[in-house]
Amino acid sequence: MPIIKVSNLKKIFKSKGGAQTFALRDVTLNIDSGEFISITGPSGSGKSTLLHILGFLDKQSGGSYLFDDKSIDEYSEEQLAHIRNKKMGFIFQSFNLLARTSVLNNVKLPLSYSGLSEKHWNEMALSAIDSVGLSHRINHKPNQLSGGEKQRVAIARALVNNPNVIFADEPTGNLDSKSGGQIMDIIAELHKKGHTIILVTHETYTAQYADRIIALKDGMVENDMKVDKPVGVSQFKK
């Protein structure tokens, strides 16, 4: 059952001089609930632009986008924000952690917009932190963590609301091969637990963790193919 349906999706950026740049051109695809999708392509191909639109972080210039069988044009900004907080989790290459805030409080941050009672926040955050193996770091600040540990905190923060869809934008881009492999193993485990994963990456081995790879070129879908057997961490150089 598709959780995401996009048809003839376009994204146009306009310069101050009126020039137009097409970031996406007529992208059409469906993503089923529970799928693990990798979006690949060279720099400037539209990968991150597509992820931002799918994650309600930006809006398309044309075409249609249905999330849970409802057009996003039918949602108010407040409703979009609510869905983004409840049903979506985000992992970014740059981690996006609050520098002066502990691991525990970084992970708790999405809960402040959730409407859930504050008495449950610690329990939920501690559970998410434990799932990425960082229970011994809950009081540390980001500058006391390695790059791999920072990304684990970012994953825990993405998980804390138990979202349907997890968006990962180059999650291993700032990591060494070993740490990148460990992060991808965690993301693969999240997929096994039923989360829909939408991963943007330029790394071939990382992309092949998915069960489907969508290749973009010049803002268009160049290829959409199934992966027979996702590779494991052994594909990363130690």
Report CA torsion sign: 150, 195, 82, 31: positive
Q: What are the pLDDT tens digits along the chain (238 aa)?
A: 899 999 999 999 988 888 889 999 999 999 999 999 999 999 889 999 999 999 999 999 999 999 999 999 999 998 998 899 889 999 998 888 999 999 999 999 988 877 777 888 999 999 999 999 999 999 999 999 999 999 999 999 999 999 999 999 999 988 988 999 999 999 999 999 999 999 999 888 899 999 999 999 999 999 999 987 545 444 444 3
Paired residues of 91 in beta bridges: 168
Report which residue type is found at 236: F
Cα separation, 19 vs 7, whole angstroms: 25
Contact 9, 27 (CB under 8 A): yes
Q: How far apart are CA 115 and CA 134, in angstroms?
A: 26
Q: What is the pLDDT of residue 203?
A: 87
For 176-200, b where at least 16 C-beta lie within 10 A, e where not — what string? eeebbbbbbebbbebbeeebbbbbb
Distance CA 130, CA 109 (A): 16
- pLDDT on residue 143: 94
